[in-house]
Structure 1
């Protein structure tokens, strides 16, 4: 039996969907006005989402995923994308202030996509919106914003170098060719940098790292480590050297190779090993 998951908020479909979203983030999508039609065929989720996002930008509305379905093999076989103003606002409690500002407008615009024989088909499409459209602003609507890996890396490096965010963002604007070509605002950049810092201070990984280093020092008194944190006690840099490496440095420390080409996948932080060169090269 198929498994259905529905929500008025953005949801994660599955691993294939996550990879598709990441690919979209890495590519600058140009808007087009090609009308989606029932029966259109695509090779991947990435292609479908990219196509609908292009159309949404050209017409002037935001998009989000509203529901998905998996088959008995736990594979994605169906999903629905809607206008970002779909649905109705429902107060969490009766005491919540009436008249709260909300973008929800019960918009019925949607696109339903189904999978058959390893292909993705548009099985339903509605293009009637219950609100005004804004093509000139749609790049910055919910679901249309994008920040590719090159941008993220630039923000990370600038943050490490102490460059103020307003200057960092303006440099990206200049590189892109102007504000009209930006696919995110300065606040999005601030949120990204703050999120990266918070990720390094979570109890899980940070605490596990500290516990591991502490246990290593108890076992080997020559094990050394040092952790650099900011004013909010968030990890900035980590350095460690085991007993064997410190001993080897006494003999092969005259020439040291310093390599910063490594990156961790999870936090996108530079990993720079110090490698001594012995008489064997």
Structure 2
């Protein structure tokens, strides 16, 4: 629960961000990263981690942006490590530890969870039962690390990917058959490393087919 302190040194900016992000999850607020790069410098010299409500309000984002002053500033050293220079812990809004799993910066589908979601979907388990099963295995929805909507979106995304892979195979088989019938027929299909369509199929016949 204790966040970064002034003059603390971390091995990298990423390690400090990971530590502060976990601190914010336990305390009940979201975080965002800001960098400042001096002219002529190859890397960001100064880095700030602030509450996600720190930006000044606008007409469109008056409820999300309330100019919260909570933040951690650090300076990046030559060896890649970083030293905390200033820390502000006061918030001008209520913290919500029980709701942090709904915050965008804290929502993440782990690799293990992705494998289970896809495997259960392939076996024919409906998305609702699929997600409920994983919630029970994790010990409750709050231990999933993401929301049911995130899981459902991932399931449907993988379904589309599998469909594209089938479509690519069918199209390629059809074009190969046409080429066997006509030696002057030429086609090109762009696929990725798992045979999914990466770009629309491009074929250039030398004459028109009705």
Is TM > 0.5 for Structure 1 vs Structure 2?
A: yes
Which of 24, 37, 43 is 2:5 aligned to?
37
Conserved 8 A contact 1:64-1:142? no
* Deviation of 1:195 (Å): 4.1
Unaligned runs of 5+ in 1: 1-32, 93-99, 223-263, 268-281
Residues 1:172 and 2:131 aligned together: no
For residue 121 of structure 1, give the secondary structure of its aligned residue in structure 2.
Answer: strand
Q: Which has the higher strand share?
A: 1
For residue 81 of structure 1, give the secondary structure of its aligned residue in structure 2.
Answer: strand
- After TM superposition, the score normalised by the length of structure 1 is 0.53
Question: Which residue in the other structure is 1:62 paired with?
Answer: 30
Q: Which has the higher helix share?
A: 2
Question: Which residue in the other structure is 1:113 paired with?
Answer: 74
Query: Structure 1 218/70 Cα, relative in aligned 2: closer, same or farther at 3 Å?
Result: farther
Query: Structure 1 107/196 Cα, relative in aligned 2: closer, same or farther at 3 Å?
Result: farther
Conserved 8 A contact 2:13-2:81? no
Number of aligned residues: 182
Query: Structure 1 147/113 Cα, relative in aligned 2: closer, same or farther at 3 Å?
Result: farther
Mapped partners of 1:50, 1:129: distance in 2: 20
Question: Which residue in the other structure is 1:187 paired with?
Answer: 149
Mapping 1:19-34, distance limit 5 Å: 33-34=1-2
Which of 15, 40, 63 is 1:102 aligned to?
63
* Deviation of 1:82 (Å): 1.6
Conserved 8 A contact 1:84-1:142? no
Question: Which residue in the other structure is 1:235 paired with?
Answer: none
Conserved 8 A contact 1:145-1:184? yes
Question: Which residue in the other structure is 1:81 paired with?
Answer: 49
Residues 1:49 and 2:10 aligned together: no
For residue 98 of structure 2, give the secondary structure of its aligned residue in structure 1.
Answer: coil
Unaligned runs of 5+ in 2: 182-192, 197-210
Question: Which residue in the other structure is 1:162 paired with?
Answer: 124
Output one character per residue of 1:230-266: Cα deviation in whole Å (capped at 9) or x when no partner: xxxxxxxxxxxxxxxxxxxxxxxxxxxxxxxxxx69x
- After TM superposition, the score normalised by the length of structure 2 is 0.68
Output one character per residue of 1:65-95: Cα deviation in whole Å (capped at 9) or x when no partner: 2x22456564444432221222234246xxx
Output one character per residue of 1:195-231: Cα deviation in whole Å (capped at 9) or x when no partner: 44566789xx999x68x94798389749xxxxxxxxx
